Homo-oligomer: A and B are copies of this chain.
Amino acid sequence: MFHSVFHKDVPWVYLVTDRRACGGRSFFHQVEAALRGGVNLVQYREKAAGTRQMVEEARALRDLCRRYGALFVINDRLDVALAVNAPAVHLGQEDMPLAEARRILGPDVCIGISASSVEEAVAAEQAGADYIGASAVFTTPTKAEAPGIGLKGMAAICRAVSIPVVGIGGLHAGNAASVVAAGGRGVAVVSAIMGADDPEQAARELAGEVARAYAASKGC
C-alpha cells in the first residue's frame, strides 16, 4: 500500500513540500489538494522547524498520504522518519551517507538519493538506493548555483541505472513531458504545486502531462 508507486507500473507525480512557497495558504490544505489532484508521492522537506514540530507535522502528513495511497517520504531527517515510522526517506549528497542510513532504517524503508551526475547515480544504486532524484534538471536564473543537468543529463542518468529516476528542478506541467520522454519515471515539483492558487488543478494538469508522456514512452 505505502509502496504502491514501486509495486505498480505508474508514473510518479512527486510533491516536495516547502512552507515558504505556500504564501498565505495553509500548508496541509495545499498538500491534501495536491493528493486529490493526483500526486502519488509527498516528500516532507523542512529545514527550519524544531524537531518536535517536525514530528507532529510529519505524523499528520503520513496519515494524509496513507488515506490517499501515496508514498510519504521524509527529507534528510532519519530521526523524524523513525519517530513516525515513515515508509521512505530522501537523502542529498550532504545528508547521512546511504550505508549508514540503511543500517539505521533496515531493509524495509525506501531510500531515495539525490544525484546530479551519472557517477553519483550509479554509486547510489550500487549502494542500495531505491530511487534517484536527478537534480537539478533546470535551474532558474535567480539561482546562482551550478547549472542544471538538463534533459541530456537526465537521460544519461536514466540510461545508467535501473531503479526509478525522478527529475526535479524547475519542473511544471509545461516541461514535465520532456523529462519523462528522457527516461524519467516521473517529475518532482515544489512551487508549481505548493505555490499554486489552485493546487488540486495544478496537480491534475501535471499528473495528466506525466501520464500521457509515460504512456507514450511505453509505446502505448
- A residues whose Cβ falls under 8 Å from a Cβ of B: 50-53, 55, 76-79, 82-83, 92-97, 100, 104
Contact = CB atoms under 8 A, between A and B. Distances in A.
A95 B52 CA distance: 5
Given A50-B95, A95-B50, A82 B55 contact: no
Contacts of A53: 94
Contacts of A55: 96-97, 100
Contacts of A97: 52, 55
Contacts of A94: 50-53
A57 to B, nearest CB: 13
Contact of A79 (B79, B92, B93): B79
Contact of A100 (B50, B83, B96): B83
Contacts of A100: 55, 83
A219 to B, nearest CB: 41
A54 to B, nearest CB: 9
Contacts of A82: 78-79, 82, 104
A92 to B, nearest CB: 8
